């Protein structure tokens, strides 16, 4: 693979030691994310059972999207770009006291800003809902406003928990911060199931109970991480000061990412706002599909990007060929997992959707329309995951402007293409639903590949060749195609069974064939390094 440093030491499995170490770190991130995503899928299944693709489900999706902008603006992605590189470098230079003062100042500023924005969100909720979801009728708008006013404070708590995540990641404690959302999901599941079964409530009353559960869960997610983060910091003094070392640089790095993520979040809002003008249930279908879309990106894209950022930040002074080797190894690990995931969603997505959601109010028509949206998203899934890793590489070398500029292009292209495709596709009916939301997803996929091409070109100018060779990618594609063919064949041979058994009889052969094929093709290194004897989570 191009750009790998020669003669890198190897661990006992025969894998270069640096690659194995980073793979194990990404495995810890992936392990935490896997557990949190499983809890999220349980939450989504319960939600689908009680609400399906109803107007109440539309209101919940819209309400969850609106305060989510606060988390995305100030939370993990933005904070990681500005905070982790500086904090990690201070730790690497053994400047622990300065690192603690820097962390305390960022905590104070972040808490203040998140609190102010949450208060404004509560105050302006009717105006924001009226602007962004004018396609809703009055009843759905009123419910959305009520939910938003509970979810904005929740999101402020999640923003502060992202600060704790940054501390833990910088100290190479990867598992805990990414498993912490289990507490958030668990609180919502208890509120939802307890409200329906224990209290006998339904409809609007039940979704309001779920919102209060989400607020409690936000506090639990922060509480899980905070004790260890404070212990690692040692001396912790929250301040609101711009004079502490590193704060001004962090803010300079923060602003371009903030602007870019602001545009991205505006795009997310507009996707849901446009979906509100489509056939009823489009907003809910978009949300169900996005839950599955982000799962492999989080497990295999974000896990690699999150584990690479502290290491790349500590090593930004290394030779360019070593830096490009780190990036290239990460890209190969991402493609190993994302290419088969995308193909499975594209061809077998109905099996996945039915196994997860088909229960209660979520029937066969909902399965098909959600699969249509998911298939459109899957076309851009590998590109979106790779872009996360490349953005982390830019953040590590203290360049936040390049990812910001490419984000502007991605958002503009996504909205333009989505708007052009959504109304024609909405004329295609699946039961009572249209496929307009799939047009928005197709626009996102087109934009994702454009962003990846722009990031790769820009990073190539900075560090030289940095990606896996074409032969490696071809072997990933061929192995995924063989696995898909085997899964389709197995599905045709299955007798009529329920959705869960059909998924097991289809997806397990897919996984087995892919593992065997990649081993035969000589591209199984990511799996080997994850199974290394050093790989126990911390």
- The pTM assigned to this predicted structure is 0.70
Q: Are the C-beta atoms of residues 51 and 209 closer than 8 Å to each other?
A: no
Give which of 231, 244, 397 is closest to 311, Cα–Cα: 397
- What are 4's two structure tokens? 């790998």
Whole-angstrom distance, CA of residue 154 vs CA of residue 118: 9
Give which of 391, 380, 389, 387 is closest to 417, Cα–Cα: 380
From first to last of its 538 residues, the chain has per-residue pLDDT tens of 333 333 444 443 344 444 445 556 666 776 777 888 889 889 988 998 898 888 898 899 889 887 776 666 665 556 666 777 788 878 878 888 888 888 888 898 888 988 998 999 999 999 989 888 888 888 989 999 999 999 999 989 998 888 888 888 888 787 888 889 999 999 999 999 999 988 889 889 999 999 999 999 999 999 999 999 999 888 878 888 887 887 888 877 777 766 666 566 666 677 887 888 887 788 888 888 988 988 888 777 665 655 555 555 555 555 556 677 777 778 888 889 999 999 999 999 999 999 988 888 888 988 999 999 999 999 999 998 888 888 878 877 778 788 888 988 988 899 899 999 999 998 888 878 888 899 999 999 999 999 999 999 998 888 777 777 778 889 999 999 999 999 998 888 888 888 889 999 999 999 999 999 998 888 765 544 443 333 333 3
Whole-angstrom distance, CA of residue 113 vs CA of residue 517: 51
Q: β-strands 429-430, 433-434: how paired?
A: antiparallel
Instruction: Report phi then psi at 362, rounded to 5.
Output: -100, 105
Which DSSP string corresponds to 55-120?
Answer: HHHHHHHHHHHHHHHHHHHHSHHHHHHHTHHHHHHHHHTT-HHHHHHHHHHHHHHHHHHHHHHHHH
DSSP designation for 280:
T
- What are 81's two structure tokens? 């770009």
Exposure of 223 in the CB half-sphere (CA atoms within 13 A): 9
- C-alpha angle 194/192/227, rounded to 5°? 90
Query: In DSSP terms, which residues pair with 434 in a beta bridge?
Result: 429
Helices in 124-236 by DSSP H: which ranges? 125-132, 138-170, 175-179, 181-193, 203-233
């Amino acid at each position: 693979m191009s750009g790998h440093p020669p003669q890198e030491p190897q661990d006992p499995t025969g894998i270069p030691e640096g690659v194995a170490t980073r793979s194990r770190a990404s495995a810890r991130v992936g392990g935490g994310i896997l557990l949190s995503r499983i809890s999220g899928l349980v939450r989504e299944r319960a939600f689908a059972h009680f609400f399906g693709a109803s107007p109440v489900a539309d209101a919940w999706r819209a309400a969850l999207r609106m305060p989510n902008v606060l988390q995305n603006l100030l939370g993990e992605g933005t904070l990681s770009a500005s905070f982790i590189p500086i904090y990690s470098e201070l730790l690497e230079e053994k400047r622990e006291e300065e690192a603690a003062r820097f962390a305390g100042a960022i905590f104070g500023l972040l808490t203040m800003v998140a609190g102010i924005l949450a208060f404004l969100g509560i105050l302006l909720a009717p105006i924001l809902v009226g602007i962004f979801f004018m396609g809703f009728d009055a009843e759905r708008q009123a419910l959305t406003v009520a939910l938003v006013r509970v979810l904005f404070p929740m999101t402020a708590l999640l923003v502060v928990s992202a600060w704790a995540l940054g501390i833990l990641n910088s100290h190479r404690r990867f598992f805990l911060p990414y498993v912490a959302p289990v507490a958030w999901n668990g609180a919502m599941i208890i509120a939802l199931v307890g409200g329906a079964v224990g209290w006998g409530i339904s409809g609007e009353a039940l979704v309001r109970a779920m919102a209060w559960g989400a607020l409690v869960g936000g506090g639990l997610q922060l509480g899980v991480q905070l004790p260890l983060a404070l212990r690692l910091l040692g001396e912790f003094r929250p301040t609101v000061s711009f004079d502490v070392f590193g704060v001004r640089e962090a803010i300079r790095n923060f602003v371009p990412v903030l602007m870019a993520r602001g545009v991205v979040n505006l795009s997310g809002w507009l996707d849901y706002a446009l979906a509100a003008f489509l056939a009823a249930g489009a907003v809910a279908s978009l949300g169900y599909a996005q839950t599955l879309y982000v799962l492999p990106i989080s497990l295999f894209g974000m896990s690699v990007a999150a584990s690479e950022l502290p290491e790349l930040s500590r090593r930004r002074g290394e030779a360019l060929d070593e830096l490009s080797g780190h990036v290239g190894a990460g890209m190969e690990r991402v493609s190993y997992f994302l290419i088969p995931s995308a193909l499975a969603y594209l061809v077998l997505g109905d099996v996945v959707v039915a196994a997860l959601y088909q229960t209660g109010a979520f029937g066969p028509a909902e399965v098909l329309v959600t699969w249509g949206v998911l298939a459109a998203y899957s076309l851009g899934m590998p590109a979106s995951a790779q872009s996360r890793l490349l953005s982390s590489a830019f953040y590590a070398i203290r360049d936040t402007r390049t990812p910001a500029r490419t984000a502007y292009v991605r958002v503009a292209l996504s909205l333009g293409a989505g708007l052009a495709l959504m109304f024609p596709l909405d004329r295609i009916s699946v039961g009572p639903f249209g496929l307009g939301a799939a047009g928005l997803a197709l626009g996102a996929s087109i934009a994702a590949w454009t962003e990846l091409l722009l990031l790769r070109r820009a990073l190539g100018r900075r560090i030289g060749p940095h990606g896996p060779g074409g032969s490696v990618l071809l072997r990933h594609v061929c192995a995924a195609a063989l696995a898909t063919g085997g899964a389709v064949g197995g599905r045709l041979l299955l007798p009529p069974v329920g959705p869960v058994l059909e998924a097991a009889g289809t997806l397990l052969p897919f996984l087995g064939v892919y593992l065997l094929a990649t081993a035969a093709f000589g591209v199984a290194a990511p799996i080997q390094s994850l199974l290394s004897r050093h790989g126990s989570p911390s």
